[in-house]
Structure 1
């Protein structure tokens, strides 16, 4: 099978945790950090998420030399991250790959039978898409993300 271009440029690894403050403290104790809060998530148009539950998630990120690490603490409500935490426990929820266009990546994914789990888009069509790969991909969801054309996102491209 040919390589899919959307899964070639690893951007980040996202770890779901029960207590984000405890996780940050641990990672900082072994030299990983500094950790930064994600910008507000309220600008995203969502599909596959309960909006209230989505907005209750807490995210932090730390940039390393070759990739970004993200921590996610799901809040109350139904999100893929909460379902993962409840069914599998803490661990790597997704691998995030950089793409120029999430919409194009979704078309490529559909051509090989991958289905969308959830997505979020900003008004410039940047954002993210999670694919339904957790059961087929050794317990890990694959994500694509396209950086915003606006300088307000603050997350390493």
Structure 2
């Protein structure tokens, strides 16, 4: 198995109404829900629409073995907004934790994976969304989380 996609960190579900989705999950006993911690500033931040990225709202619930993220993409154009319009609510991406963000992104490039969005902070943390929708059915993300 590729070290890129070995350690599942989270599943991200795009929703139309973040508060309604959180309330439903809480009614099932899933929670507590917290705002997604955006972390520190990025040295590199390449996304299709920076204003849309900043306007997205996320809530996260840490489970025993992984995290669930709910994403309300807002009204501005973004890959998440387009997914919602074309497919309705559902799983947009799977996020995998990696020990080295830069090495993982380079390995993805070697495997021929295109990049939708990427970000890197001074401490080496960050993310890279690979365009795997056609072949994997979802976007696959690698990320190095802050400690």
1:15–1:93 CA contact under 8 A, matched in 2: yes
How far apart are the structure 1 equivalents of 2:40 and 2:54?
Answer: 7
Residue in structure 1 matched with residue 142 of structure 2 by the alignment: 144
Greater percentage in helix: 2
- 4+ residue segments displaced more than 3 Å: none
Residue in structure 2 matched with residue 125 of structure 1 by the alignment: 124
Residue in structure 2 matched with residue 28 of structure 1 by the alignment: 26
Residue in structure 2 matched with residue 53 of structure 1 by the alignment: 52
Residue in structure 2 matched with residue 154 of structure 1 by the alignment: none
Deviation at 1:42, TM superposition (A): 7.5
How far apart are the structure 2 equivalents of 1:142 and 1:132?
Answer: 7
**CA-based RMSD:** 1.5
Unaligned runs of 5+ in 1: 150-157
Q: Deviations over 1:19-55 (max 9, x none)?
A: 0000000000001000001124672342133111111
Deviation at 1:14, TM superposition (A): 0.5
Q: Secondary structure at the match of 2:135?
A: coil
How far apart are the structure 2 equivalents of 1:40 and 1:111?
Answer: 28
User: How many residues of Structure 1 are paired with residues of Structure 2 in the alignment?
Assistant: 146
Q: Deviations over 1:65-124 (max 9, x none)?
A: 111000000022222211111111100000000001221111111111111111122232
2:132–2:139 CA contact under 8 A, matched in 1: yes
How far apart are the structure 2 equivalents of 1:24 and 1:41?
Answer: 22
Aligned positions of 1:60-79 closer than 5 A = 60-79=59-78
How far apart are the structure 2 equivalents of 1:97 and 1:119?
Answer: 14
TM-score, normalised to structure 1, is 0.87
TM-score, normalised to structure 2, is 0.92
